[in-house]
Amino acid sequence: MYISQPMSWHKESTDSEDDSPEIDIKEEDIQKTVEVSGSELNTEPMAFLQGLNSGNLMQFSQQSVLREMMLQDIQIQSNTLPKLENHNIGGYSFSMVLDEKPKSQWMYSVPLNKIYIRMNKAFNVDVHFKSKMPIQPLNLRVFLCFTNDVSAPVFRCQNHLSVDPLTANNAKMRESLLRSENPNSVYCGTAQGKGISERFSVVVPLNMNRSVTRTGLTRQTLAFKFVCQNSCIGRKETSLVFCLEKACGEIVGQHVIHVKICTCPKRDRIQDERQLDSKKRKSVAEATDEDEPAKVRRCTAIKTEDTESNDSRDSDNSAAEWNVSRTQDGDYRLTITCPKKECLLQSIEGMIKEAAAEVLRNPNQENLRRHANKLLSLKKSAHELP
């Protein structure tokens, strides 16, 4: 402890053999020492705590709680079962573009969103994502799962597994059915893992310095292959899941593509697309059959109505004669010759209905009203005929 002023010493002679000096400490020296010592306890941690008031203490506490909640949420997210859905919750515009070359050993079906590929044959995929500020390192986690049972892990068959020799550095890669052709790829997961971060997967670091597309997205080409077939794992349907992750493991985007590893990709793709078309036709036919009775009744009613109207029209045409002519003054004349009074009244009523509809559509036109009134007078005169 640093002391501001020197203490005064004095020695008294005693008769004892052990002569020990006594310290004479003045009261004013103690006060000065305490004052100086208390001021020097203001170290850096103490200064930080003293600088915090109640407001920013609450903010500091809330930020700590939010950070802890975010870390827990990231851990829960990475340890949950995968969901076979596409999303872009991080706003990175994450997407996948399959680069299918001519005469390649794999094919992609657009209507099925499915890759058909041979074993040990690589396929290329372009990863598109948007760089956001501040720049953070991103990884792409890729894993295989069963389409109808996402909780079950996907293992290699023993026949193909026994061919790969086990070394000190390839234990996890040897167990993985999915292989990455990209440098710096990391194989993760265990045989008992079910969650996203626990199951067998391949993590590929994405390079921010890759080429940029016309839309401003970063593009990186990756290559993958499979070392077993679907027939090796019970012919179950499989899906390939691509997860865009931050360095902390937070998933900010996901894309799913269905996969079939087979010996004849073209044949299987054609068969599956034909089955899809037949299912669509069958569903359309079933929907048509459900609506068919109502359609039949409606068509029958329409046909009966048309028949009756045609018959009445034919009888009217055969009974009434309509003649149009022009007078010497340039006016137009309509002459209706009817053998029966009822036929004449029906003709006039038809013209009255048409005139009334025109009056309703154009209520401000006085000439239409006059025309309708003349037709009503004409009908009245026809009623008075013998």
- For residues 143 and 259, the answer to whether their CB atoms sit within 8 Å is no
First to last CA, the chain: 140
Say how many CA atoms lie within 13 Å of 357 toward its Cβ: 6
Q: Is 160 annotated as contributing to ligand binding?
A: yes
Residue 165: cis peptide before it, omega within 30 degrees of 0: no
Q: Give CA torsion, residues 14, 15, 18, 23, to 10 deg.
A: -10
- For residues 203 and 188, the answer to whether their CB atoms sit within 8 Å is yes
Q: Is 157 annotated as contributing to ligand binding?
A: yes
Amino acid at 61: S
Q: What is the CA radius of gyration of the chain?
A: 46
Sequence-distant (6+) residues with CB within 8 A of 175 are 155, 156, 161, 191, 200
Tokens of 26: 């003045």
Q: Is 232 annotated as contributing to ligand binding?
A: yes
- Other CB atoms closer than 10 Å to residue 12's CB: what's the count? 7
Do β-strands 251-261 and 114-117 pair in parallel, antiparallel, or remain unpaired?
parallel
Q: Is 343 annotated as contributing to ligand binding?
A: no
Which positions make up the binding site for Zn(2+)?
157, 160, 228, 232
Instruction: List residues forming the annotated binding site.
Output: 157, 160, 228, 232
